Structure 1
Amino acid sequence: MNPRKTIRRFYGQLALAMLTLVLFSCHGLEELNENPNQLDAESVDPNLLISTVINNTGKTIVGLGFGDIAGVMQHTQKDGWSGGHNAYDWTSESYNWSSYYQTLKNNQTMLEKAETENLDFHVGVGLVLKSYLFGMIADLYGDAPYSGALRGDQGAEFFDAPFDAQRDIYLGIFSDLERANTLLSGDSYLNVEADQDILYGGDASKWRKLANSLALRYYMRLSEKESQLAQQGIAKIVGNPGTYPLILNVVDDANMGYIGNSSADAWPTNTVFDEDPQGAYMRIKMGKTLVDIMQDLNDPRLGVWANRVAVPLAVEAGVADDFDEVINGERRVSQAIVDNYEATYGYPVDFDPDYVGYPTGMTLGAVYNLSKDPNQGTFNEHASQLNEIYREASGDLLQARFMSATEVNFILAEAAFKGWIGGSPETYYNMAIQQSLNAWGVGSAYGSYIAGPAAYGDYEDIIIQKWIGSWTAATEAWFDYRRTGIPDLQTGPTAKRTVLPIRFYYNENELENNTTNAEAAINNLETTEFNGTDPQNSAWSKIWLLQGTNEPY
């Protein structure tokens, strides 16, 4: 029995109850100190908080990686209401980190209770989740409250939390993950309720693999900035597999399924609870960048992620200029109609009979590829919609993907390419692809796929395949792009800047309420030629991690 499909019973009520645990170190939340419903470490069962923290974190991963960051990474594009997705028109009012800190506060409450009761499993899990969330914050924003965060309930002097240096946050993460690896190495644990662990069903050995795999992720994150630290960390882990087991097979992937009982616990593009004909499912289209590359590679995953074109297009020769008919399921039009469309909208008609993706940052997406429906968020019979599975509220493939064997093997391939570990980069590369195909149910196609254009050639292949494999979890691909410049992604005509963004703005709430500390963090950002009219707090300013690396620009 797969615990990820069956253990979902209690977290819904818990999530509601634990929304009261939102005290963290930001000014302006003083009134929450008087909350009579607040649960503390003495009165809460840590098992109940585990599911809440996992659930909130999982939905955040999908919200970014299948949301606007999928647009940045050109996995998808929207045909309407698309500014944040296609054009990156973000501001200091976008992407408030408060929900991350709220989840971290719940996690801290669980950790405090577990520490008091000597519950090693819960402490280990809590440290992994803490590392994941703080890592996400540091990756997205740069410097951030860390060592002094989550202390707002201790008094007014903790409301304005200082921002720790991004480097120090990563070092803290490595320390916490090292301790988690030790705590999760035992054979038996007290007070573990498998039903509440909606990631791994109470299996400490799998959490241990996640802890060490996360450490690999963050060491590789530092590879261009502090290569010696990164090399030493990766070599230590890979060179001691008995001490540092890793996620190397899809059976150990850290995935959280969706229950699908209500809109709150269903896949975000479902049409079960969102019956709006112009809802999220219809607005999100496949991105041309991803579709074209996957077609060039004969990638079997494309058919899992996308629907085929409903009505292919073809030019009918020797007909009147207004000729436009559907014949045998194919829409045949005159060359004059094609020429007029291309002159009007500036995009060539895509005659691919199988899959057609949307160009990046295009204008008037609703009429793309001779679509007859000019309304945003509607069915385009001449382009690829998301696969029908993404209309469902839940399903075997509808997972929040925290970390996978695919990602870990690609990290190892990159480390081997750099000469940091033994083994062949091609071997790790092949294993990464095998695990990805297995994860998406097309593992039987591996032999023919790897023997074709997807065969390993060089370093760029590793990062491009990792980018493809990050489908629905594209935030990780964004972080890879920032440090490597791969793939070579170009912006579209509606983009706010001529290059991709590389961070989130510090939010207005923090700027107004924690001004001194926020301004100090902003001063640590490095402006680029692409800041435009933005102040230093820009999505095109470089965080510490990118400064001096010449990447991605």
Structure 2
Amino acid sequence: MKKYIITPILALLFIGCSTTDDVNLDDHAFYNTTQESLLTYAQKELSDYMNTPSVNENNFRLTMQYWTETIYVNESNYDFTNRTVSNNVWTDNYVNVLKNLDQAERIINAYAPTPSEIASWPAKKKNQLAIVDMLKVYTYQVLVDTYGDIPYSQALNIDLYPLPKYDKASEIYSSLITKLTDDINNLSATGGTFGNGDIYYKGDIAKWRKFGNSLLLKLGISLADVNPTLAQNTVNKAITGGVITSSGDNCQFQYLEASPNENPMFQETSSRDDFIAGKTLVDYMNANSDPRISAYYTDVDGDYIGQVIGTPGEFADFSNAGEFAYTATTPGIILSYTEVSFYRAEAAARWGIGGSPAALYSDAITSSFNDWGLASDAAAYIAAHPYNAANWKKSIGEQAWVAMYNQAITSWNFYRRLDYPQLVAPSTAIPNAEGKVPVRLQYPTAEATTNGSNYAAASAAIGGDKLTTKIFWDIN
């Protein structure tokens, strides 16, 4: 059985920390390692965060009303403080992903090639640095889209900045677009990479280039309402450069059968009956005769039944997640062709970029059906649910919500940008939600207590550290 060798976390820290507390460094961490093993570790940690349904870390399957909980329904009702969820999200991304990528970058820059490597090292170095930085860009976008203003320019230099400032989210986006453009330009098909240390693409530069352009497309689309000029320029550049064109280009982590390398969904679902189908999506799919429901959920005596969001329910009385969630080797998705296809449909609908919006809408839905092994059912479904140019946000928003069922964090972005589907918060939701589905996470309590001045400044700058404070690009 193939096994991954995973490097220990390099630094166990919150980005904001007390200058008197020695929490910046882990005494047990292993610092003498290679850039390849650090990349492997960071890729797995990123995939684990994006794909886990753990209520301690990633609750977006609940927020997007795909699932609800059976007994302990706190998170279905948007209580994310009971388990200090935000602290874990912060650590997952800053420590487990970004800090390890940063250390890989340092090792690459410090590496002294052997005489036999001198000629080939410059191109390989540029490729390695570009790939590491693209994953940094991806992770920083996730953090901005989750919180708004975040530590960025000072975030990973704990020696100089133990209490980092928070940068403006809009400025971070501009920086990410510039950095990503440079990363794509620095990729060279003739240079080496990380070999098998790269679990996502095994060093395939052509696929990394498509990933980079697809991520550029994602960044550009996010800015569509708040900075349409930069958005269109970025989207044009991405599509011209060449984005993901098939599911064979998907960026994903291939999990294994054996512990500890199973899909984190399997790790959560195989031993506990914590989740059941959410009524919102089940009812929508039933009403629209969507064949994908048989892959998304199990049936109850031939029917698909979802529970009211935020209300406890017996596991056996409601549909459960489909077989994919109980399979150890289900890949962890980072960026998919289906996702990219919906961005292209949106770009065409907004600005006439890249083709016919109706055709690209059909491509996106067809790709989703292909993902679930239901290719032969796609055409009939599209015919029954055609693209509506008069209300393209509803067409694309609702269909992206259904298609992003296994990419809940991505689904949350579509929902906030397009305002579809029109989700309704449960009546049992916590008062802090103000009767609404959350549009951001609150900053970690650890930041408020250890990096208080910068936390307070950031909270004021974004309009309050609340679940209802919109991210800068969410202006509609």
SS across alignment from 1:77: strand
Tell me the distance in 1 between the aligned counterparts of 2:445 and 2:308.
32
Structure 2 contact 51–265 (Cα < 8 Å) conserved: no
The reply on whether 1:165 has 2:168 as its aligned counterpart is yes
Tell me the distance in 1 between the aligned counterparts of 2:244 and 2:212.
9
SS across alignment from 1:31: coil
Give the structure 2 partner of residue 523 of structure 1: 460
Give the counterpart letter for 2:190 in structure 1. S
Tell me the distance in 2 between the aligned counterparts of 1:166 and 1:63.
26
- Offset at residue 233 of structure 1 (A): 1.4
Tell me the distance in 1 between the aligned counterparts of 2:327 and 2:364.
28
Q: How many residues align?
A: 451
Structure 2 contact 398–421 (Cα < 8 Å) conserved: yes
Map residues 319-338 of structure 1 onto 2, 5 A cutoff: none
Give the structure 2 partner of residue 224 of structure 1: 225
Tell me the distance in 2 between the aligned counterparts of 1:495 and 1:456.
34
Give the structure 1 partner of residue 427 of structure 2: 493
Give the structure 2 partner of residue 90 of structure 1: 80
1:151 to 157, 169, 172: 157
Structure 1 contact 166–545 (Cα < 8 Å) conserved: no
Structure 1 contact 73–478 (Cα < 8 Å) conserved: yes
Q: Which runs of 5+ in 2 are unaligned?
A: 112-121
Give the structure 1 partner of residue 328 of structure 2: 393
- Between 70-79 and 90-99, the greater mean CA deviation after superposition: 90-99
Give the structure 1 partner of residue 106 of structure 2: 112
Give the counterpart letter for 2:470 in structure 1. K
Q: Evaluate the alpha carbon distance shift between residue 134 and residue 498 of structure 1 in structure 2; reply closer, same or farther with a 3 A threshold.
A: same
The reply on whether 1:446 has 2:378 as its aligned counterpart is yes
Structure 1 contact 23–150 (Cα < 8 Å) conserved: no
- Offset at residue 389 of structure 1 (A): 3.6
Give the structure 1 partner of residue 144 of structure 2: 138
Q: Evaluate the alpha carbon distance shift between residue 35 and residue 270 of structure 1 in structure 2; reply closer, same or farther with a 3 A threshold.
A: closer
Q: Evaluate the alpha carbon distance shift between residue 542 and residue 217 of structure 1 in structure 2; reply closer, same or farther with a 3 A threshold.
A: same
Tell me the distance in 2 between the aligned counterparts of 1:472 and 1:124.
28
Tell me the percent identity: 27
1:408 to 331, 340, 346: 340
Tell me the distance in 1 between the aligned counterparts of 2:17 and 2:68.
37
Q: Evaluate the alpha carbon distance shift between residue 274 and residue 386 of structure 1 in structure 2; reply closer, same or farther with a 3 A threshold.
A: closer
Tell me the distance in 2 between the aligned counterparts of 1:24 and 1:111.
20
Map residues 227-376 of structure 1 onto 2, 5 A cutoff: 227-238=228-239, 240=240, 244-262=241-259, 264-270=260-266, 274-275=270-271, 279=272, 282-310=273-301, 353-362=302-311, 364-366=312-314
Give the structure 1 partner of residue 359 of structure 2: 427
- Offset at residue 35 of structure 1 (A): 5.2
Q: Segments of 4+ in structure 1 off by > 6 A?
A: none
Q: Evaluate the alpha carbon distance shift between residue 422 and residue 386 of structure 1 in structure 2; reply closer, same or farther with a 3 A threshold.
A: closer
SS across alignment from 2:104: helix
Structure 1 contact 65–472 (Cα < 8 Å) conserved: no
Tell me the distance in 2 between the aligned counterparts of 1:65 and 1:400.
14
Structure 1 contact 64–474 (Cα < 8 Å) conserved: no
Tell me the distance in 2 between the aligned counterparts of 1:418 and 1:358.
36
Tell me the distance in 1 between the aligned counterparts of 2:298 and 2:265.
15
SS across alignment from 2:405: coil
- Offset at residue 423 of structure 1 (A): 1.7
SS across alignment from 1:70: helix
The reply on whether 1:122 has 2:128 as its aligned counterpart is yes
- Offset at residue 37 of structure 1 (A): 5.1
The reply on whether 1:10 has 2:7 as its aligned counterpart is no
Map residues 193-204 of structure 1 onto 2, 5 A cutoff: 193-204=194-205
Q: Evaluate the alpha carbon distance shift between residue 33 and residue 236 of structure 1 in structure 2; reply closer, same or farther with a 3 A threshold.
A: closer
| Superposition CA RMSD, Å | 2.3
Q: Evaluate the alpha carbon distance shift between residue 22 and residue 208 of structure 1 in structure 2; reply closer, same or farther with a 3 A threshold.
A: farther
- TM-score, normalised via structure 2 length: 0.89
The reply on whether 1:461 has 2:395 as its aligned counterpart is yes
Q: Which runs of 5+ in 1 are unaligned?
A: 1-5, 311-352, 367-377, 527-535
- Offset at residue 39 of structure 1 (A): 4.8
Give the structure 2 partner of residue 57 of structure 1: 46
Q: Evaluate the alpha carbon distance shift between residue 388 and residue 24 of structure 1 in structure 2; reply closer, same or farther with a 3 A threshold.
A: closer
SS across alignment from 2:334: strand
